[in-house]
Amino acid sequence: MTKSDDKRVPALRFKGFTDEWEQRKLGHTIKYIGTGKSKCNDKSTGKYKILGSTGVIGYSNHYDYDGDFILTARVGANAGKLYRHSGKVKITDNTVFIQGPQLNFIYYLLSNFDLKKLSFGSGQPLIKASELKKLFLNFPITSIERKNIGIIFNKLECILSLQQRKVKLINKLKNALLTHFISKTSSQSASKTLKDITNIRGGYAFKSSEFTKSGFPVIKIANISQNGEIEGPYSYVLSLKSDYQLAKNDIVLAMSGATTGKIARVNSNNIYLQNQRVGYFVNNHKIDYNYLYYLLISDQFKRQLERILISGAQPNVSASDIEKFKFVILKSKKQQSKISTLFKHIDYALKAGNNKMHTLIQIKQFLLQNMFI
């Protein structure tokens, strides 16, 4: 059934449900809404506590509030954030505690509502339980429909949680293997400086007047993200500077700015141009180029980078400083190639895992927007 202007029904609905939804006051629908201070006024420490932007953190003792949920009432930008828990919890005076029947449905109903609209006061906004009780929201008439909506979102959250855990474990595996294969000294490896195996080419100083809305995209330091990706939006130029071209798989470095020292690879078949303060690691075939990339994202690189960044007043690195970095490098290019192939497969698995996670998040957002009114 599609959403209608003259009927109170959601755009997306389970088969067999046709009744209009009804507006109810939240305080009349659930068992309890109150602050932790009024509910838990002794001084013992609970197993969980809401603290700032960190969310739910653990403690040793507990209260028996099993299966309900809480929202942050006053923690700055995180006011109105919802937290589920399946165990025991201590509720502080910065939280609102919610108990009642069919809380799965209520949780996702409130997830789809901007709770900050209920906040007031300067500085850190406050959400009061009394205001939450007065909130009018749309509810399905039957408890079966409410239950079904709660179940489908719970299953989706479970799948999303498992996918997030999978990505986290793949990342953990990658980091462990980087330490084992890239940083480990053996008879098959040798210590070399970066200058022994490559050199860093500086970028071209494009003038602001040269930038246009179309043409050849220019990679600036702002296009090198914190997660090591090259991302738009881009500036463009009409003139192709052949000495400053970048192609797919080329490795670049942010040499100043917020992402100083961040390594990224060109991941598109487009021809890019290299702006100033972006360094390009030249492929001179002294080392397997893919293996070089994994050297540059290893702890060997990060530790040496931290030392020169700490000593500098501003986030800024020079090509000469980076080229002095020392690495433990496998002597055999054949072995280098095998190691880089292994990491490429891991990266493919990470990319697929992240894409699936992004798709699940999009599905959840679509359902939140279309299964509620």
Contact present, 270 and 236 (Cβ < 8 Å): no
pLDDT on residue 123: 58
- Looking at the domain 189-331, which fold is it? Adenine-n6-DNA-methyltransferase TaqI; Chain A, domain 2 (3.90.220)
Of the chain, the percentage scoring pLDDT greater than 90 comes to 63
pLDDT on residue 77: 63
Q: What pTM was estimated for this model as a whole?
A: 0.77
Mean per-residue pLDDT for 156-163? 95
Question: Distances in Å between the alpha carbon of 207 and those of 204, 218, 301, 372?
Answer: 9, 12, 32, 51
pLDDT at 120 over 70: no
- Among 133-142, 177-186, 249-258, 341-350, the range scoring the smallest mean pLDDT is 177-186
> Is there a common fold for 22-141 and 189-331?
yes
Mean per-residue pLDDT for 180-207? 91
Question: 293-311 burial string, b = 16+ CB within 10 Å, else e?
Answer: bbbbbbebbeebbeebeee
pLDDT on residue 337: 96
> Which SS3 state, helix, strand or coil, does residue 362 take?
helix
pLDDT at 11 over 70: yes
Mean per-residue pLDDT for 199-206? 97
pLDDT at 119 over 90: no
pLDDT on residue 246: 97
Question: Distances in Å between the alpha carbon of 269 and those of 207, 231, 265?
Answer: 25, 14, 12
CATH 3.90.220.20 holds for 22-141: yes
pLDDT on residue 75: 56
Model pLDDT for residues 23-70, shown as the tens digit of each residue: 999 998 888 787 765 333 333 434 344 333 333 333 333 333 445 777
Looking at every residue in the chain, the average pLDDT score rounds to 85
Mean per-residue pLDDT for 79-97? 67
Confidence category of residue 117, pLDDT binned at 50, 70, 90: confident
pLDDT on residue 83: 77
> Which SS3 state, helix, strand or coil, does residue 287 take?
coil
**Angle at CA of residue 15, ends 13 and 18, nearest 5°:** 70
pLDDT on residue 24: 93
In 135-244, which ranges are E strands?
Answer: 136-139, 189-193, 200-201, 216-219, 235-237
Burial class (CB in 10 A: 0-12, 13-18, 19+), 31: exposed
Domain ranges in the chain are 22-141, 189-331
pLDDT on residue 208: 93
Contact present, 170 and 255 (Cβ < 8 Å): no
Mean per-residue pLDDT for 56-85? 59
Mean per-residue pLDDT for 277-299? 96
pLDDT on residue 51: 37
